Amino acid sequence: MKRRDFLKHSAAATSMTLFPFSAWSQSDRRKELLIVANETGPNSLDIHTVGANRPAYGVSWICYDRLLGFGKKKLPNGTLMYDYTKLEPELAESWAMAPDGMSVTFKLRKNAKFHDGTPVTANDVKWSFDRAVTVGGFPTFQMKAGSLEKPEQFIVVDTHTFKIEFLRKDRLTMMDIAVPVPSIFNAALVKKHATEKDPWGLDWTKLNTAGGGAYKVESYKPGQEIVFARFDDWKSGKLPKIKRVVQREIPSAGNRRALLEKGDIDMTYEMPPKDFLEMSQAGKLNVVTTPIENALWYVGMNVKSGPFANPKVRQAVAYVLPYDKIMENAMYKRATAMWGDKDNKANSAVWPQPHGFKQDIPKARALLKEAGFENGFETTLSLDLGNATVGEPACILIQEALSLIGIKCTINKIPGANWRAALLKKDMPLYLNRFGGWLNTPEYFFFWCYHGQNAVFNTMSYQNPEMDKLIDASRFETDRKKYEAQVKGYIDMAFDDVPRVPLAQPNMDVAMQKSIKGYTYWFHLQPDYRDLEKS
**What pLDDT is attached to residue 123?**
98
Flag whether 224 is in a domain: yes
- Annotate 256-290 with three-state secondary structure: HHHHHHHCCCCEECCCCHHHHHHHHHHCCCEEEEE
User: How many residues in the chain?
Assistant: 535
Same domain for 358 and 341? yes
Same domain for 517 and 504? no
Which domain CATH number covers 496? 3.10.105.10
Number of domains within the chain? 2
Flag whether 286 is in a domain: no
Closest CA to 394 of 419, 430, 361: 430
**What pLDDT is attached to residue 29?**
58
Flag whether 21 is in a domain: yes
516, 242 contact by CB (below 8 A): no
Q: How far apart are CA 270 and CA 273, in angstroms?
A: 9
Same domain for 530 and 503? no
Same domain for 194 and 76? yes
Flag whether 458 is in a domain: yes
Same domain for 483 and 348? yes
Flag whether 284 is in a domain: no
**What pLDDT is attached to residue 17?**
44
Same domain for 503 and 442? yes
Closest CA to 294 of 138, 23, 523, 62: 523
Give the count of alpha carbons within 13 A of 150, CB side only. Answer: 6
Same domain for 487 and 525? no
Flag whether 83 is in a domain: yes
**What pLDDT is attached to residue 456?**
86
Q: How far apart are CA 140 and CA 137, in angstroms?
A: 6
Per-residue pLDDT of the chain (535 residues; tens, 9 = 90+): 444 444 444 444 434 345 544 444 455 556 799 999 998 899 999 999 998 999 999 999 999 999 999 999 998 888 899 998 999 999 999 999 999 999 999 999 999 999 999 999 999 999 999 999 999 999 999 999 999 999 999 999 999 999 999 999 999 999 999 999 999 999 999 999 999 999 999 999 999 999 999 999 999 999 999 999 999 999 999 999 999 999 999 989 899 999 999 999 999 988 889 999 999 999 999 999 999 999 999 999 999 999 999 999 999 999 999 999 999 999 999 999 999 999 999 999 999 999 999 999 999 999 999 999 999 999 999 999 988 889 999 999 999 999 999 999 999 999 988 998 899 999 999 999 999 989 899 999 999 999 998 788 999 999 999 999 999 999 999 999 999 999 999 999 999 999 999 999 999 999 999 999 999 999 999 999 999 999 8
Which domain CATH number covers 526? 3.40.190.10
Q: Give residue 443's domain range.
A: 295-508
Consecutive H or E run containing 108:
strand 103-108
Q: Amino acid identity of 380?
A: T
Q: Amino acid identity of 343?
A: D
Q: Amino acid identity of 323?
A: Y
Question: Could you give the 3-state DSSP secondary structure of residue 403?
Answer: helix
Q: How far apart are CA 460 and CA 471, in angstroms?
A: 17
Radius of gyration of the chain (CA): 24
Q: Output phi, psi for 475, to 5 deg.
A: -65, -30
380, 410 contact by CB (below 8 A): yes
Say if residue 522 is exposed, middle or buried (CB neighbours under 10 Å; 0-12, 13-18, 19+): buried
Where are the alpha helices (H) located in 427-464, listed in sequence order?
Answer: 442-449
56, 43 contact by CB (below 8 A): yes
Same domain for 195 and 48? yes
Same domain for 211 and 306? no
Same domain for 366 and 440? yes
CA angle 170, 152, 123 (to 5 degrees): 105
**What pLDDT is attached to residue 14?**
38
Closest CA to 520 of 250, 331, 269: 269
Residue 76 makes CB contacts below 8 A (sequence gap 6+) with: none
Flag whether 160 is in a domain: yes
175 to each of 145, 178, 404, how far by Cα in Å? 10, 5, 46
Q: How far apart are CA 292 and CA 525, in angstroms?
A: 8
Flag whether 279 is in a domain: no
Using CA of residue 339, residue 340, residue 344, residue 348, what is the dihedral sign? negative
**What pLDDT is attached to residue 2?**
45
Same domain for 346 and 236? no
294, 437 contact by CB (below 8 A): yes
Same domain for 242 and 209? yes
